[in-house]
Amino acid sequence: MNASALLVITCSCLISAILGKPQFPEEEKDPKFWNAWAQRTLKDALLLQDLNKNVAKNLIFFLGDGMGVPTVTAARILKGQLKGQSGEETLLEMDKFPFVSLAKTYNTNAQVPDSAGTATAYLCGVKANEGTVGVNAAAVRSQCNTTKGNEVTSILRWAKDAGKSVGIVTTTRINHATPSAAYAHCVDRDWYSDNEMPAEALQSGCKDIARQLFENIPDIDVIMGGGRKYMYPRNISDVEYPAIEKHNGTRKDGRHLLREWMDRTKDKKGHYVWNKTQLLSLNPSNVDYLLGLFEPGDLNYDLERNSDTDPSLTEMVEVAIKILRKNTNGFYLLVEGGRIDHGHHEGKAKQALHEAVEMDRAIGQAGLLTSVHDTLTIVTADHSHMFNFGGYTLRGNTIFGLAPMVSDVDQKPFTSILYGNGPGYKIIDGGRENVSTIDFKEKNYQAQAAVPLTSETHGGEDVAVFAKGPLSHLLHGVYEQNYIPHVMAYAACIGQNREHCTRNSGAAGSRPVLSSVTALLTVLWLLC
């Protein structure tokens, strides 16, 4: 081991032990602090007995792709540390939601799922095979002839059919697995454009996902994300990167889907934008349809985002809500923090966690623009990852830092964050890489992994589901992932089983008005 590094670690531990200074606020020594905190929490919990049974005029669904429970916890700590706090006691915006449950994420043919089959579950209400979107489990991946007759529709479609405005915002390609399940019926999540499809699939009449975005539900009110190159013909240069060939258009059919969309919406207050300046210069009151595609592929990681030219997820969500909420019938909005997943796959925990913190900012902004009385908001993940952190770290230890000891096997230091598998596996001179010899706090550092893989894998455990707003109490306990859109539809009186909406009593039946006292208590609870 590097002698100087070992000396620093040893001295740090000795100094802490000798000085005996706890890494936590002085007030936490007093039992009254913890008792008072628990009593406040208890009073808040008692307020929840007066359940919100209003009809959900608006529905907002936040999906942190790959945001398992360890990622949520680590992001919480990071959020606090970015504000100069210890971090552990910090609250994410989703932590403030009154109801939390667990969803089982397996696909019909996979114990550890992918983002396509899970998206079909939490958007269409039906579990499906991995790699397929918007089709049931009778559809077989990559077999075009199993598509017809096995299509399933999403809650975005149910909301649109009910007269609501609908929108999709993502940090990935708009035709990536998560968003595509909202509008497409495809037996292969990778059929982004006709360029990625086999000839037999095209000959059999199957459509690529980009084409389905504009044809299946042609009047989606707000669409924002990446994926420009799949929308126009091959060899047409990208508007932002004209000299980079890999960003050229991919379509073989010669169609320019962006121009087609602009022609169709030009007389209906439709606007196409491809950079932050154009997006933020819009007046939402003068926009009824918005298409924003900000990169040829996925959007850049938030840590690498050009804040002058590329909008953040929070900025996109704010514009989306301001456009959608003009509809007196309400809206449905799908928001994906999609690059949390990509950071983990690459073993880049710093990128993944900063993506999660940015999504939490967007959740907070959405809360400011809507009301808990008529807006059901859900935050969850499609699946987890082989990501974790531990090593008996002390309170306030930087989430990207070292454990306070060295391994008692190879006598080398190790970071708190580790992956079960992935590209961070390295053997140097016959042994584990010594992290003290590299910059493990660099934004693209790949955390050490136990098993070597070029891409880290998903995890198979349940994911947390956070809910607030009308009928959010229906999300409780442990349930199948496909239950989620059924709850949202029930709360909003859309889709199937709407009988309760016309009764004189019952959940979401008579649109009960909260008493002024209850409303005041609810507001105070949210502010605390």
Name the binding residues for Mg(2+).
Answer: 65, 176, 178, 336
Alpha-carbon distance 12 to 5, whole Å? 11
The dihedral formed by the CA atoms of 272, 274, 277 and 278, expressed in degrees to the nearest 10: -10
Q: Which amino acid is at 309?
A: T
Residue 269 CB contacts under 8 Å (≥ 6 apart), including other chains:
286, 287, 288, 289
Binding-site residues = 65, 176, 178, 336, 341, 345, 382-383, 458
**Residue 171 carries which side chain, given as an amino acid letter?**
T
Active site residue 115: yes
* Helix residue ranges, H only, 83-224: 115-124, 155-161, 177-180, 199-203, 209-215
Distance CA 165, CA 221 (A): 6
Distance between CA atoms of residues 115 and 491, nearest Å: 25
Angle at the Cα of 19 from the Cα atoms of 15 and 25, rounded to 5 degrees: 110
Consecutive H or E run containing 403? strand 402-406
CA 482 to chain centre: 17
Whether 66 contacts 113, CB under 8 Å: no
CB 19: neighbour CB atoms within 10 A? 8
- The catalytic residue among 115, 154, 193, 384 is 115
Q: Tokens 């493990």 — which residue?
A: 440
CA-closest candidate to residue 181, choices 494, 487, 484, 490:
484
Residues within the annotated binding site for Zn(2+)? Answer: 65, 341, 345, 382-383, 458
Catalytic positions are 115
